[in-house]
Amino acid sequence: MTDETSHHATSAQPNRLWYANLIGLIVLGLLVLAPLVVDLQGENPATPVELEAAAAPDGSMSTELADAVAEVDKSHDDHHDVPPYWQIGTIPFVLLLLSIAVLPLLRKTMHWWEDNTNRLAVALGAGLLTMLFYLVVDGPTAALLATEHAIPGEYVPFIMLLFSLYVISGGISITGDLKATPTVNATFILVGTLIASFIGTTGASMLLIRPLLETNRERKHVVHTVVFFIFLVSNIGGTLLPIGDPPLFLGYLRGVPFDWTLILWKEWALLGGLLISVYWIWDQIMVKRETTLDILRDDAIRRPLRMSGSINILLLLGVVFAVALLDPSKPIPGTDIHAFPFCRELVMLGLAGASLAVTPKGIRESNRFNYHAIIEVAALFIGIFLSMQVPLAVLKANGADLGLESPSQFFWLTGILSSFLDNAPTYLVFFQTAESMTLEGGEGILQLQGGGFIREDLLTGISLGAVFMGANTYIGNGPNFMVKSIAEQSGVRMPSFFGYMIYSMLVLLPAMVLVDWLFL
Amino acid sequence: MALKRVIVALGGSEYMDAAVSEACHIAARNGAEILGIAVMDETLVDPAEPSPMGTGSAAADLRAERREKVETGMSESIARFESMVGAAGIPHRTQRLVGDAQEALTDALRLADLAIVGIRHAFDYGTIAHPDDFLGRVARASGRPILAMSSPARQIDRVLVAYDGSTASANALRAFAVLNGFGPSVIRVVHCHDEESDSETLLEEGMSYLRLHGHTVEGMVLDGDPSTALLEHAEAWTADMLVMGAVGRRGLSRLLLGDTASSMLQQSEIPLLIRS
C-alpha cells in the first residue's frame, strides 16, 4: 500500500521548518530577555531592568516599563496607544486566525497542518511579523513592550495552567459500567457539571466520558446523551472559576479577582438544572425505544465504578490554590508576603511533575494520554498572543466607539464568535472593549487588580457568552471535539457538524435567550 | 445488445455477498466478466473537517484509525469476492481505488454495462456512511443501470416495472429489457395515477416494448403517493425486483415534490434496478 510507505517516508525526514522554528524561538527568547540588558528609556544607560520586575506574570509592568509606556503614550498622545498603520499591523492576526480556520479544510493543506512543527512555524511567523511591525512603526521599545505583555505576561501563565491541568487530570481514570438508566446518565452529567469549574472542562470531560460511554454501550440511542454531556460538562459547567474555562483564566490574568466568577452561580445553576431536567425527560423517552434484549444485556453487564490515580485530585486542588493564592500582583491573603514572579507557574509545574511521578503505571495508557493536544495549543497560542497585541491596542483606544453598550450585546457577540472561534482570544477582544468603555470606578464597576476598571454587567455578559456558547458547535471548544472523537471511536454515530448544530439550536439557543432575558 | 461487463461493489457488508452472487448469476447467463471494485471513499474516511485548537491531533488519530479499518475491510472484501467468483468459475478482475466513491464508480462504469451495489451500503466497510441518495447520484452521473441489491440474494422471477412516461423511467425500462440480465417469468408494469396523464395509454406503451422482447407482461394502475404505493404493491404482489427511473430532485424541489427513487433506496427490501 503506497499510502503507508509514503507516510513513513515523510515522518522519517526531518521537517525543514524545524530549524526556522528554532531560530524563531531563539529570537523570541531574546526579545523576552531583552529588558535585562537594554534600557528601555534609552537615556540613562547601564540600568539593567531585572527580569522579575520586567516580566511580572500578571501582565503588570515594572516601573521602567511603565515609564516607557508613559513615554510612548506621550509621543502618540492624539491617538492614545494605537500604533500608526494599525490596519497593516492587524494583518498577521487575521492571517493566523484564517490559517487555523481554513488550512484544515483544504485537501492540499490538511495533512501539512497536522504537523505541530508547521503549526508552530505559522504561529511564530505571525508573531514575529507583528513584532517587526512594532519595531518599524513604533520603535524597539514598543516591540519589546508588546513582547513582554504577550509572552511572560499572558502566554506563559496561560500555557502553564493548561499544561498542569492537562497532565494531572490525564492521570485520573474512572472505569465501570452501570445500568444506563436516565437517572444514572443524568447523574454523570450532573457530577461533570459540578466538578468542571475545579478541574477544567477538558479534564472533567475526559474523566467522565469513557465510563459514561461504557455504561451506555448496550444501548442504541446514545447520541443525545453525548450531546448533553458536551453542553454541560465540556462547557457550561466551567463557569464558576478561572480554572474552569481558559477565557476566564485570561480574565483573571487581566486582573479579575479569582472569586469574581462565583457570582455567576445563578446562571450556572439555572442552565445546569434546566438542561439536566430536559435531558432526563428526553432520555426517559429514548430508553423506551431500546429493545428489551438490549435492556436485559445492559442489566446483565455491570461493573461498579472504580477510580484510579485519585492522588491527582489532591494535585488538582493544589493548582486551584496556586491560582487563587499565588498572584504576584497582590500579597498572599492573610500575610504581607508577595509571591515572587512565576512562583505560581513553578508550583503548577511542580504539581504536574509530581503527577507524572506518582501516578500508577497504566492509567495514562488507558486514558490514551499523550502530549499532542497541549503541544498544539502551545504552538498556536504563541502566535495568537503576540499578533493579538495590535488589535487589542486598537480596541483599548477605540473600543468605546464601537457602539456596543448593553450586556446583552456583549453576551451575544462574544457568544456567536465563541461558537466558531476559540473562546479565549474572543473573550480578550471583548474584555478589552468593555474595559475601554469603563473609565472610572463606582457602583457596579469592578476594579481590576493590575489597574483599570470594567463594568460588571458587561463582564458578566462576556464571561457567560464565551463559556456557554462554546457549546454551540463542535469547534466552539476543545473538549467538544475530543468528546465527539472518543464517542465515535467507541462506535457512537455522532451527528455531523450541522447535525450537532440542530441540537444546539433547538436546546441551547432558547436557553441562551432565557439567560439573556432573566439576567442581562 | 449483450451484457459483457458487470461491476460489483465490494463494500464489506452483508449486501456485498448478495451483490456478488447476483453478479455471478447475471455474468454466467450472459458470458460476461465481473469487475470487483473496492473504494476507499477519501472524502468520508479522511475528511477535511474543522476542529478546535488542540484537537487537531485527535482528529488526525481518528482519521488514521478509520483509514486502517477501511483498508482492512477492503482487503477482506476482495478476498471474499475472489473466492466466491473463483468458485463459480467466472472470469473476473479486481480494482482497489482511493478517491471519491461516486467518481470512482462512475468512472469504472464508462466501459461497463451494469453495476451491482449494496442497496444501503456501497463502500462503507462498517466505518463510514454514504449520503442517502448515493446510488441515485451514481446512476445520474454514469447514465448506466445500477442494480441496488438487497440481502439476501433471491431468484428474480417476478419483476415490477414503474413507468410514468418520463425519460428516466423509459430508460430504466429499456435497460432492463435489452440487458437481458434476468429471466423473469412475469413482468408487471405499473403506473401511479395522476391527473395529467392517461394511465392506460402509458401502460400500454411500456408493456408493448417489453412484449417485443418476448416477456409475459401485465399492467396495473396504482393510486396514491408513488413511493409508498410502489413499496406496498411490491410487497403485496411479492415482487423480486423493482425497475424504476432515477429522476433525482435536489434541494427545495426534493423537499416539496419528493424523490421517489431516493426514498425507495432508503426503504426497499427488494432489489431496485435504477437508471436515469
Q: Do the strands B272-275 and B146-149 form a parallel or antiparallel pair, or are they unpaired?
A: antiparallel
Q: Cβ–Cβ of B53/A377 closer than 8 Å?
A: yes
Asked whether B1 and B213 are in contact (CB, 8 A), the reply is: no
Alpha carbon of A440: minimum distance to chain B alpha carbons (Å): 36
Nearest to B54 among A476, A478, A489 (CB): A478
Q: Cβ–Cβ of A376/B54 closer than 8 Å?
A: yes
d(CA B264, CA B245): 11
When pLDDT is averaged across residues A465-489 and rounded to a whole number, the result is: 92
Asked whether B128 and B41 are in contact (CB, 8 A), the reply is: yes
Q: What is the share, in percent, of chain B residues with pLDDT greater than 70?
A: 95
Query: Which helix (H) or strand (E) element contains residue A348?
Result: helix A343-358
**pLDDT at residue A511 tops 70:** yes
Asked whether A250 and A427 are in contact (CB, 8 A), the reply is: yes
At A54 the pLDDT is: 44
When pLDDT is averaged across residues B196-220 and rounded to a whole number, the result is: 90
A489: confidence class by pLDDT, cuts 50, 70, 90: confident
For residue B128, the chain A residue with the least C-alpha distance is A493
DSSP A505: I
B72: confidence class by pLDDT, cuts 50, 70, 90: very high
d(CA A363, CA B154): 52
A13: confidence class by pLDDT, cuts 50, 70, 90: low
Q: Cβ–Cβ of A485/B60 closer than 8 Å?
A: no
Find which of A57-66, A243-252, B54-63 is predicted with most confidence, using mean pLDDT: A243-252
d(CA A487, CA A495): 11
Alpha carbon of B197: minimum distance to chain A alpha carbons (Å): 40
Mind listing the pLDDT tens digit for each residue in B90-128?
999 999 999 999 999 999 999 999 999 999 888 988 888
Is residue A63 classed as helix, strand or coil in its secondary structure? helix
A405: confidence class by pLDDT, cuts 50, 70, 90: confident
The values of phi and psi at residue B31, to 5°, are 65, 40
B37: confidence class by pLDDT, cuts 50, 70, 90: very high
Contact of B155 with chain A, judged by CB distance below 8 Å, is answered with no
Mean pLDDT, chain B, rounded, equals 88
When pLDDT is averaged across residues B252-267 and rounded to a whole number, the result is: 70
Class of residue A38 by CB neighbours under 10 A (exposed 0-12, middle 13-18, buried 19+): middle
**pLDDT at residue B270 tops 70:** yes
At A345 the pLDDT is: 93
Handedness of CA A391, A397, A402, A405 (dihedral sign): positive
Q: Cβ–Cβ of A497/B49 closer than 8 Å?
A: yes
What is the total residue count of chain B? 276
User: Which of A120, A485, A494 is most worth mutating to test chain B (most B CB atoms within 10 A of its CB)?
Assistant: A485
d(CA B210, CA B1): 15
* SS3 per residue for chain B: CCCCEEEEECCCCHHHHHHHHHHHHHHHHHCCEEEEEEEEEHHHHCCCCCCCCCCHHHHHHHHHHHHHHHHHHHHHHHHHHHHHHHHHCCCEEEEEEEECHHHHHHHHHHHCCEEEEECCCCCCCCCCCCCCCHHHHHHHHHCCCEEEECCCCCCCCEEEEECCCCHHHHHHHHHHHHHCCCCCCEEEEEEECCCCCCHHHHHHHHHHHHHHCCCCEEEEEECCCHHHHHHHHHHHCCCCEEEEECCCCCHHHHHHHCCHHHHHHHHCCCCEEEEC
Give the residue ranges of DSSP H helices in A402-508: 407-420, 423-437, 456-468, 478-489, 497-503
Mean pLDDT, chain A, rounded, equals 86
At A74 the pLDDT is: 45
At A9 the pLDDT is: 42
Bridge partners (DSSP) of residue A175 are A306
Q: What is the share, in percent, of chain A residues with pLDDT greater than 70?
A: 89
d(CA B271, CA B276): 17
Is residue A447 classed as helix, strand or coil in its secondary structure? strand
Q: Name residue A282's amino acid.
A: W
Q: Do the strands B158-162 and B241-245 form a parallel or antiparallel pair, or are they unpaired?
A: parallel
B254: confidence class by pLDDT, cuts 50, 70, 90: low
When pLDDT is averaged across residues B62-66 and rounded to a whole number, the result is: 88
A83: confidence class by pLDDT, cuts 50, 70, 90: confident
At B185 the pLDDT is: 86
Cell numbers for B15, please give them: 449486501
Mind listing the pLDDT tens digit for each residue in A126-176?
999 999 999 999 888 889 989 998 999 899 999 999 999 999 999 999 999
Angstrom CA distances, B82 to A118, A215, A440, B78, B90, stand at 44, 41, 80, 6, 10
Handedness of CA B104, B105, B110, B112 (dihedral sign): positive
Cell numbers for B204, please give them: 400500454
d(CA B149, CA B145): 12
Q: Cβ–Cβ of B56/A376 closer than 8 Å?
A: yes
Which of A159, A157, A201, A169 has the alpha carbon at shortest distance from A316?
Answer: A169
Q: Cβ–Cβ of A485/B55 closer than 8 Å?
A: yes
In this predicted model, which residue has the larger pLDDT, A13 or B258?
A13
Nearest to A373 among B54, B65, B98 (CB): B54
A402: confidence class by pLDDT, cuts 50, 70, 90: confident
Cell numbers for B132, please give them: 442517502
**pLDDT at residue A410 tops 70:** yes
**pLDDT at residue A97 tops 70:** yes
**pLDDT at residue A264 tops 70:** yes
